[in-house]
Amino acid sequence: MQEKSAKLPDHEKVYRRLREMILFGELTPGQAVTIQGLVDTLGVGMTPVREAIRRLTSEGALVFQGNRRVTVPVLDADEWEEIAFARLVVEPELSRLAVENMGPEDITRLVSIDDQLNAAIDRGDVRGYLEHNYRFHAALYELAGAQVLLSIANMLWLRGGPSLRVVLGRFGTANLPDKHAEAMAGMRNGDGLAVAEAIRGDIEQGIVTVRAHLVGEKI
């Protein structure tokens, strides 16, 4: 849920790349990586990596483990429920506000992203599913023009996304329903409340998916 820019400073490029590694499962909860390892993997200098880690640590997406190592946090069930509660408050409201600002070209873009998401599901592509599901929600929420709520949603996805990746890694993309079709129908009708309700249902399905498989475990 970030702006795209043709020219970005190195620290911003590294931040976005590392953020995607967390969101889309390249770094999993509890997996420790060294700062030097990230420097080597990303092919950049130490300074932009340190800056990216600093930002992601402040957002709760990474934690320091000592010896120049960082990890994606391992959530317990209570933390997962807090994230779930906050998402169900913030994201439907972003969706409702987005409808007030969207035009036909925005709906077309969302349909295209969702088509790619469905294709990823059909071929069992977990990484593709996670990426396009995120892109769909990000594109929708950015239309809301509500920067405070958007920043909260960004943080919640960073904190909760890796746990969904754990579940999909075990069970794959089969039987992954969503409410995107209902949301897009509401968009075409200009019905913000219907879109908000569809997105609420969509989020609840993901919450239940994780809870059903991982309650009592650390995720």
- pLDDT, one tens digit per residue, over 100-141 is 999 999 999 999 999 999 999 888 888 898 999 999 999 999
pLDDT category of residue 145 using cuts at 50, 70 and 90 = very high
**Per residue in 40-76, pLDDT tens?**
999 999 999 999 999 999 999 999 887 788 999 888 8
Mean pLDDT calculated for residue range 140-146: 97
Q: What angle do CA 187, 137, 203 make, to 5 degrees?
A: 95
Give strand pairing partners of 55: none
Please compute the mean of the pLDDT values over residues 81-90 and round it to a whole number. 95
Q: 160 pLDDT exceeds 80?
A: yes
Q: Read off the pTM.
A: 0.88
Using pLDDT thresholds of 50, 70 and 90, give the confidence band for residue 173: low
Say what angle helices 104-122 and 180-188 make with each other, to 10 degrees: 170
Please tell me the distance from the alpha carbon of residue 140 to that of residue 98, in angstroms, as a whole number: 6
Mean pLDDT (whole number) for 195-219 = 80
- Alpha-carbon Rg for the chain in angstroms: 17
Q: How far apart are CA 91 and CA 179, in angstroms?
A: 14
Distance of CA 54 to the CA centre of its chain: 19
Residue pair 96/193 in contact (Cβ under 8 Å)? The answer is yes
Query: What is the pLDDT at residue 105?
Result: 97
Find the angle CA(28)-CA(137)-CA(109) to the nearest 5 degrees: 125
User: Looking up tokens 């317990």, which residue turns up?
Assistant: 76
Non-local (6+) Cβ contacts of 148 within 8 A are none
pLDDT tops 70 at residue 171: no
Task: Please report the pLDDT score of residue 187 as a whole number.
Answer: 97
